[in-house]
Structure 1
Amino acid sequence: MRSKSGFAPYLALIAAVFQVVLSQGAQRGQTWREPLDPFAYGLLLVGPLMIALHRKFPITTSVVTLLATYVYVWGGYPYGGVFISPIVMLVLLVLRRHRLTAWILAGATLVTFIVYPWATTQPERGLFHDLAVSSFILLTMVAAELVRIARERRAQQQRAAEEETRRQASEERLTMAQELHDVLAHNISLIHVQASTALHLIDDNPEQARTALAAIKTASKEVLGEMRSVLNVLREGAPRSPTAGLDRLDELIERSGLEVTLKRVGSRPLPPSVERAAYRIVQESLTNAARHAPGAAVTVRLEYGEREFAVRVTDTGATTPAVLSESGSGNGIPGMRERAAALGGTLVAGPSGAGFQVEARLPLPEETS
């Protein structure tokens, strides 16, 4: 967005230079027309100025540009460079989804340029002039439509490629989850059987019981290794509960065992992906608070903005020794940051006073009425 809007001043400058230079050249070849004067130069600069403002006021700037062009033409000034800005405006209107307005303005321009030579008895009036003007305007609009179609097709192909990439990633995660399920089911079943055997034989046959306990030790070590390997790959990428959302936040807070204050600022529907990411960020933040800051008061603040959704989890710091502070994989904050980045957002985590704060900002699509 920033790069596109930043190009407008350069486009406006290029249009201004070409309009002025080409009009000065046209003046030498069209000696029967009025010479360029300050008023004419002012009209030549209206279009480039409107190009610079077009993204913010597309229809208004287009109408002003065309009106300035009409006044210039009806003033009898030389043809030529003055038509650059109207062409740019009509093309931009088509590309920026104002197609109906573009075609209406193109029709108004066609009528104006055909009526003008007949109303002012200009020497170029006639069928050839009318056909030339009609063909040029029609060609401009058709070219703009073709560019629009090509851009939309390219964007659609890009979306399809991204969707395919996401689908493949989801399938890979589901495969890993299935693999993890199989490993857990197998090894836990084995542990259960061996434990039952050990309990049954521990009094009458201690040696066999010892063998069963050794098998339990081996199986438990294997399952822990498998879990660690798969979970390190998943890194919270595949939600354990696909339906996890902010509607379950109260339940999550209740299970956390912490003193949590939930604040909501505003309200609006959220995309499911944003809901899941926000829920997991709050979940991981509360887990970290319970592990590293037992006894702390925690505040969860949700801000529903027009363009972004902000999640802020702040704790006041530990009031009792953090006996579990060394446990965990250390992947909590990177995992949260990856969730935010996957949606085009940001996540910042760090000390806040005596406590700790996690703040995520997730972009939202514009609301549709």
Structure 2
Amino acid sequence: MDEQQVRPRGGPPMWWRHGPPWWNRWDDEEQRPRLPWRSTVLITVFVLAGSNFAGQGQGDRQDLDPFARVLLFVAAGLLLWRKRYPVAVVFGTSVAATVYLGAGYPYGPVFLAVAVACFNAIVTGHRRAAWAAVGVFWAGHALVAHWLYEWLPPSGDPAASWGQEGVIAAWVAAIVAVSELAKTRREQWAKERAERAQAARRRADEERLRIARELHDVLAHSISVINVQAGVGLALLDTDPEQARTALTTIKAQSKEALGEVRQVLDTLRTPGDAPRAPAPGLDRLPELVGQAASAGLTVEIEGTAPRLAPGTDLAAFRIVQEALTNVVRHSGSRNARVRLDRDDVGALRLRIDDDGPATGADAGGSGNGLAGMRERAAALGGTIEAGPRADGGFRVLAVLPVTSPAETKEDR
């Protein structure tokens, strides 16, 4: 149990020292709202000066005396703490205004203090307290104006008309209505800000995922080729130095290209709105990809031609082929792969990458991260990916991608 909730035997409850729950106290000074000095001073001056002016035309009411000015000062001055203690302030202001009007002093700007306190209490979430306070204010005024007026100053004052009470009731209802409307708008704005922040976080997460996927595809392919060529170079370093030199040359070229692609991916982390320094890769670079695979000892046959694709679809298709060939190099005993490109009946691009196997380890077809990345790319475009072993012992990756991605179609509209 929390120490602050423990009540000493025979002693007062703990809220006696710290205040009741509705008191709205802050234990940390830094969390306390700032006192609204300027607005409170302006309201206080307006209430005091305006009451003097308003009293000149109300001969049937008591003249302002020091006690009246004290009540006015208290009603307006309490607003200084309205941000920290909205419940206490709205009740205090209502009581001070009720006593002021019950004593027979002139009607006037004292209503403004009650309105500000009520408005503040409602918009800060203390609806019931605000309603109760203004209800007490109106009920107190009606009680004095219709039943207790004979025993209160000024002497000989008649009962107030019920029409006047209707005006005051309408004024109270208007204050509550405006406050509720302001509270509703404030909550709506807060919800919209939260939704915008959540959308921004979601976009940031998607961007991080996209960058991670790009880096995985670039590095997995390049490092696989480098690993194969490094093994070839080490094996032939003594027996065939010329072939070892070729392997080292391939490693240099591949590492340079990988660094360039990594820089291109990381360029997206620059100031938003900057154009990329180099075009994103697409299926037009398939011959280059075939050459890289050949340097790793993999022969790739290309069948069919790709249709004209949107940039996002073109990049996804290239990365899918790249990842599939990387998995062949890393996880298949076959040194031959086939890539077929065509369009299905609905006009979508079909990519099929086959190898004859067999798998060289438990992770046939890949460790899972590459396949997951391919599925994410396809799903983002509204396409599908099927990957798995074939009946004859090989492995197949089949991707179906729309020629134009949904996002790019929406932008065109």
TM-score (norm 1): 0.59
Q: Is residue 216 of structure 1 aligned with residue 251 of structure 2?
A: yes
Instruction: Check 1:124–1:223 CA distance in 2 against 1; reply closer, same or farther (3 A cut).
Output: farther
- 1:203 pairs, out of 218, 238, 244, with 238
Post-superposition Cα deviations, 1:298-329, rounded to whole Å, max 9, x if no partner, equal xxxxxxxxxxxxxxxxxxxxxxxxxxxxxxxx
Post-superposition Cα deviations, 1:34-70, rounded to whole Å, max 9, x if no partner, equal 1101111111111222111122222222222112111
Aligned pairs for 1:72-87 (under 5 A) are 72-87=100-115
Q: Is residue 156 of structure 1 aligned with residue 184 of structure 2?
A: no
Runs of at least 5 residues in structure 2 that lack an aligned partner in the other structure:
1-28, 151-156, 271-413
Q: Contact 1:23–1:78 at 8 Å: present in 2 too? A: yes
Q: Contact 2:68–2:100 at 8 Å: present in 1 too? A: yes
Q: Tell me the amino acid that sits aligned with residue 213 of structure 2.
A: Q
Q: Tell me the amino acid that sits aligned with residue 145 of structure 1.
A: E
- 1:96 pairs, out of 111, 117, 124, with 124
SS of aligned partner of 2:61: coil
Aligned pairs for 1:70-219 (under 5 A) are 70-119=98-147, 120=149, 122-123=157-158, 125-219=160-254
Query: Aligned equivalents of 1:198 and 1:31: distance in 2?
Result: 110
Q: Contact 1:33–1:78 at 8 Å: present in 2 too? A: yes
Query: Aligned equivalents of 1:130 and 1:78: distance in 2?
Result: 15
RMSD of equivalent CA atoms:
2.4
Query: Aligned equivalents of 2:82 and 2:230: distance in 1?
Result: 75
Aligned position for 2:97: 69
Query: Aligned equivalents of 2:94 and 2:131: distance in 1?
Result: 13
How much does 1:74 deviate?
A: 1.2
How much does 1:234 deviate?
A: 5.6
Q: Name which one, 1 or 2, has greater alpha-carbon Rg.
A: 2
Q: Contact 2:94–2:136 at 8 Å: present in 1 too? A: no
How much does 1:204 deviate?
A: 3.2
Query: Aligned equivalents of 1:220 and 1:124: distance in 2?
Result: 97
How much does 1:23 deviate?
A: 0.9
Q: Tell me the amino acid that sits aligned with residue 202 of structure 1.
A: L
Query: Aligned equivalents of 2:108 and 2:119: distance in 1?
Result: 18
Per mean C-alpha deviation after superposition, the further-off stretch among 70-79 and 7-16 is 7-16
Q: Contact 1:5–1:55 at 8 Å: present in 2 too? A: yes
Q: Contact 1:114–1:133 at 8 Å: present in 2 too? A: no
Q: Contact 1:197–1:212 at 8 Å: present in 2 too? A: yes
Q: Is residue 11 of structure 1 aligned with residue 43 of structure 2?
A: no
Query: Aligned equivalents of 1:53 and 1:157: distance in 2?
Result: 29
Aligned pairs for 1:257-336 (under 5 A) are none
Instruction: Percent identity, please.
Output: 36
Q: Tell me the amino acid that sits aligned with residue 56 of structure 1.
A: R
Query: Aligned equivalents of 1:213 and 1:55: distance in 2?
Result: 72
**Number of residues of Structure 1 aligned to a counterpart in Structure 2:** 234
Q: Tell me the amino acid that sits aligned with residue 117 of structure 1.
A: A
- 2:71 pairs, out of 35, 39, 43, with 43
How much does 1:215 deviate?
A: 1.1
Instruction: Check 1:124–1:118 CA distance in 2 against 1; reply closer, same or farther (3 A cut).
Output: closer
Query: Aligned equivalents of 1:136 and 1:54: distance in 2?
Result: 21
Q: Tell me the amino acid that sits aligned with residue 80 of structure 2.
A: A
- 1:25 pairs, out of 35, 47, 53, with 53
Query: Aligned equivalents of 2:236 and 2:51: distance in 1?
Result: 104
SS of aligned partner of 2:107: coil
SS of aligned partner of 2:36: helix
How much does 1:227 deviate?
A: 4.2
SS of aligned partner of 2:121: helix
How much does 1:148 deviate?
A: 0.6
How much does 1:230 deviate?
A: 4.5
SS of aligned partner of 1:45: helix
SS of aligned partner of 2:56: helix
Query: Aligned equivalents of 2:73 and 2:120: distance in 1?
Result: 18
Q: Tell me the amino acid that sits aligned with residue 226 of structure 2.
A: I
Q: Contact 2:61–2:106 at 8 Å: present in 1 too? A: yes
Query: Aligned equivalents of 1:220 and 1:199: distance in 2?
Result: 17
Aligned position for 2:26: none
